[in-house]
Amino acid sequence: MIEIRIHGRGGQGNVVAAYLLATAAFEAGLYCQAFPAFGAERRGAPVVAFVRIGKQKILRRNEVKEPAFLIIQDPTLLHEKGLTTGLMKGGGILVNTKLTSGDISAAHGEEMIALPATGMAVEAVGRPVPNVALLSAFLSLTGIVPHTALRKALSGRFKGEVLDKNLNLVEMAAKAVDKGLWKEVAHAASA
Amino acid sequence: MRQALEGSQAIAQAVSRCRPGVVAAYPITPQTHIVENISKLVADGDLKTELVSVESEFSAASVVLGSACAGSRSYTASSSQGIMLMSEVLYNISGLRVPVVLTCANRAVGAPLSIWNDHQDSMAVRDSGWIQLYCVDNQEAVDTTIQAFRISEETEIPVMVCMDGFILTHTLEVVDIPDQALVDKYLPPFAFKRILDPKQPISIGTLVAPDFFAEVRHSQHQAMLKSEKAIIEADRDWKKLTRRGYGGLLSEKGPKDAKVGVMTLGSIGGTLAEALDTQPPRRKTKLINLRCFRPLPVAAIQKACEGLTDLIVAERAISPGLGGIVGNEIRAALAGMKKAPKVHNVAVGLGGRDVPLETLNDLVDWAKTAPDTSFSVFDAKLDKLPKEDR
């Protein structure tokens, strides 16, 4: 079973990101679980959501404390103490930032992969919502679920022009990271 | 059809498959998405029902009481303070022996204000005369909702389906929503003998003087005790159709010769089940998931406890000044049983406190050595409190 923690701010589509990733896993024939850890429900407040993906039915319902992967929707959250706490040894961090992977890693003293997801979303969809681009990049990095499954998950949520724009965004973001870079980590986590 | 759905969405679908004539509810976190999704089904034309927007939970409960009496299958849902506000009407619904189904998206009761999960709300109305069924996961919540209509209409006792707020209501997972034809086969159209019919006028809710009140309560209690059969059969028949059953009143997991038992209600059962598989305690331990809390299935509980030396009741509610609510009921239920296990009682996961996998081993270890096993809030960190409050 692979456990993922998604950090973002209220209004960035954090819960939607978790639901989309889990739905994509379902579309790929896997078991999934996604749930938010709601705090104060207001725009801009730090929010966390959890995703579990596995080959067998998932029974546990506790919060994800030792994720294999972190998806950070807002780079300013990296200044919060303990954000990366519990990340599995060798686990991956994907950050929405304009900086390069090298620069963001150097700035925080931890290996991270950067994706300018907000910019991509503005370009492709016209809205600064980074979640879909991050998910697409995440699937490229890990290979845990094919992009076709994410497309299916998106078509369950969006229609018409909005869907088409999001599918373009999936294409754009999928190519922006090293395909299969985290494949072994994902494999080890799911074993 | 198998789908990846948020728990609330799944419940809305399940309710819709039961063809309710009337749905009345007032939104409250974490129940809101259930009502939202039912409203959407109605707006999209996928569910034909009289959806009544009300100004409070008191009215929501009153509407479904009236609509069931008028001959419509009726449904409502609430949480926490909403259940509190309904409580007067809940007693009326059960006392008048009117079939209604209610989803309680379990949430703590303030103060202190908390939107997160525990079972204080449904426990606060445990004596209201409603059948209470607690669900471990969203599939069980879907299946139990459908079973609940059948149980309620067969027994003329209202049924409260309890599902953990956020932990189930806001969790997206794989759920099989049964086909309409299958539900139609399982659940006959709403039939209630004592409906308000101008051709055969009756009064419902009249004053009952002391010469008959005791008899009404006696018969209500007897009906509750007898409803065990309907609950078991509803689950058994559902299993025949879907291959999914939940043990009727309770379910057990673990070695038959276990000496230690851990009893829980609701979604904690999932986390502890995984813990039992992946990190089993050194002392042979089994889990008892109490699905049916009202009626309290005393015989089934005694049977499940046979051979145990220790039973840990871990519950998500508290009766300040007494301790555990479920735990003390279980102590009473086991009284008189030959070789009854020692009952250790704790509250865990109050107000949304996370219940990690390690809880199973922690509980079993604690039960072995704790000097006072009468009751404790197991996961309270006492060093956060001033000395005099510990």
Q: How many CB pairs under 8 A join A and B?
A: 66
Domains in chain B, number: 2
Average pLDDT, integer, range B194-217? 95
Nearest CA in chain B to A156: B4
| Same domain flag for B174 and B322 | no
| Same domain flag for B16 and B141 | yes
Which CATH number belongs to the domain containing residue B278 in this structure?
Answer: 3.40.50.920
CA-CA distance, B220 to B224, in Å (whole number)? 6
| Same domain flag for B303 and B227 | no
- Residue A41 burial (CB count, 10 A): 11
Q: B374 falls in which pLDDT band (50, 70, 90)? A: confident
Nearest CA in chain A to B164: A61
The residue out of B214, B242, B270 marking a domain boundary is B242
Residue B274: which of A22, A32, A59 has the nearest Cβ?
A59
Per-residue pLDDT of A64-106, as tens digits, reads 999 999 999 999 999 988 899 999 999 999 999 999 999 999 9
CA distances from A146 to A6, A7, A95, B141 (A): 19, 23, 21, 31
- Residue B358 burial (CB count, 10 A): 12
Q: Are A53 and A71 spatial neighbours (Cβ–Cβ below 8 Å)?
A: no
Contacts of B271 (CB under 8 A, 6+ apart): A59, A60, A61, A62, B355, B356, B357, B359
The domains of chain A are located at 2-186
Positive or negative: CA dihedral B368, B370, B372, B377: negative
Per-residue pLDDT of A19-74, as tens digits, reads 999 999 999 999 999 999 876 667 888 999 999 999 999 999 999 999 999 999 99
∠ CA B314-B317-B318, nearest 5°, is: 105
- Judging contacts by C-beta atoms under 8 Å, the chain A residues touching residue B357 are 60, 62
Kind of pairing, strands B74-78 and B22-25? parallel
Closest by CA position to B16, among listed B103, B117, B127, B112: B103
Per-residue pLDDT of B80-102, as tens digits, reads 999 999 999 999 999 999 999 99
Helix B138-155 to helix B210-242 angle (10° resolution) is 130
Interface of B with A in 264-323 (CB under 8 A): 267-268, 270-271, 273-275, 277
| Same domain flag for B109 and B13 | yes
The residue out of B242, B263, B294 marking a domain boundary is B242
Nearest CA in chain B to A19: B172
- Residue B334 burial (CB count, 10 A): 18
Q: Which residues form the domain of B291? A: 253-389
| Same domain flag for B214 and B261 | no
Residue B174: which of A18, A32, A36 has the nearest Cβ?
A32
Interface touch B275/A60, C-beta < 8 Å: yes
Identify the pLDDT of residue A40.
Answer: 65
- Judged by a CB distance cut-off of 8 A, whether residue A58 touches chain B is yes
Per-residue pLDDT of B311-331, as tens digits, reads 999 999 999 999 999 999 999
Q: Are B292 and B235 spatial neighbours (Cβ–Cβ below 8 Å)?
A: no
Per-residue pLDDT of B1-18, as tens digits, reads 999 999 999 999 999 999
Position B347, amino acid: A
Choosing among 3.20.20.140, 3.60.10.10, 3.40.50.620, 3.40.920.10, the CATH entry for A2-186 is 3.40.920.10
